[in-house]
Structure 1
Amino acid sequence: MSTVPEFRPADPGFEARVRDSFGRQPAMRLIGATLGLVAPGLCEVDLPHNPQITQQHGLIHGGVVGMIADSAGGYAAYSLFPADSTVMTVEYKLNLMAPADGERLLARSRVTRHGRTLTICSLDVFAYKADREIHCATGLATMICLVGRPDAPRSGAPR
């Protein structure tokens, strides 16, 4: 029987910091994604179906599935980081197991190993259609903690 690790965030204000950072992502606004649950080492990103993000078969594009999985992983890790840091993805691998066909998708990430510099997260994406939950993608991500670089827009970057 496996247990879920419990983590203590380095910053008691982690949830507000995570939500602020997510709110500054034009890419998430573009696809219509919203931030759901945020807890220490856990994050969910919700995405309603939109024909503008589908591929030729009417399914949500695999690249978009990767976007929300990556963001969920980044923010699950970021929830544990110090206040004066930022997060960036080092690597992620995603297996697309079923079509992303539903009224909405939910990406859920949980930290599995939190280190001083690198944090490893599990990634899962579920499609919801007609009261059914379909596990459509799973993966693993590595995130880096960049201490001393507060998460803020770079000068000259569009907002």
Structure 2
Amino acid sequence: MEEASADVQARVRASFERQGLMHHLGARIAHIGPGRVHIVLPSRPEVTQQHGYFHAGATSAIADSAGGYAAFTVFREDSSVLTVEYKINLLAPAEGDQLEAIGTVLKSGRTLTVCTLEVYASQGADRTLVASGQQTLIQIQARPER
């Protein structure tokens, strides 16, 4: 997998570190490439629902962040990113050792960017697609992140 430049990786990681929810969930960035970001969430009781599966909220949150940061990799340095909307389909119970959300830029425009979202659950060597979606993000010009 192609890696993003060192500057882009540093900008994405710095922004990710400021996200309280990702820290609270225990999520981490596993890959930053041009137009593609992977976020991993290990299984813990705090991110599950009553049947022991990963909660849909946790699944959706890491998918949203993966897509947002995928878009952020192609945005100008002096801009920031916000989600405009996203739709996610939960395809199977999310159970396993960890989830991996993959956000991929489908089309990047001057203002709006569309990403595809995939979330996989892993149990050992087995990997199952548990969620799929699409997202629209807006590039906010001349407003760098804090």
Task: Give TM-score scaled by structure 2 length.
Answer: 0.95
Distance 1:41 1:129 in 2: 27
Q: Select the residue among 30, 49, 62 that pairs with 1:55.
A: 49
Give structure 2 stretches of 5+ with no counterpart. none
Question: Could you tell me which amino acid in structure 2 is paired with residue 110 of structure 1?
Answer: T
Aligned-partner SS, 1:134: strand
Pick from 57, 62, 70 the counterpart of residue 68 of structure 1. Answer: 62
Q: Deviations over 1:102-144 (max 9, x none)?
A: 1000000110000000000000000001321010000000010
CA–CA separation in structure 2 for the residues paired with 1:89 and 1:37: 20
User: Is structure 2 residue 28 aligned with structure 1 residue 34?
Assistant: yes
Aligned equivalent of 1:15, options 3, 9, 32: 9
* Residue 45 (structure 1) aligns with: 39
**Structure 1 residue 53 displacement after superposition:** 1.1
Equivalent-residue separation in structure 1 for 2:125 and 2:18 (angstroms) = 32
**In the alignment, what sits opposite 2:114?**
120
Q: What residue in structure 2 maps to residue 102 of structure 1?
A: 96
Scaled by the length of structure 1, the TM-score of the pair is 0.87
Percent of residue pairs identical:
47
Tell me which residue corresponds to 1:3: none
Q: After TM superposition, what 4+ stretches of structure 1 lie above 2 angstroms from structure 2?
A: none
1:126 aligned counterpart, secondary structure: strand
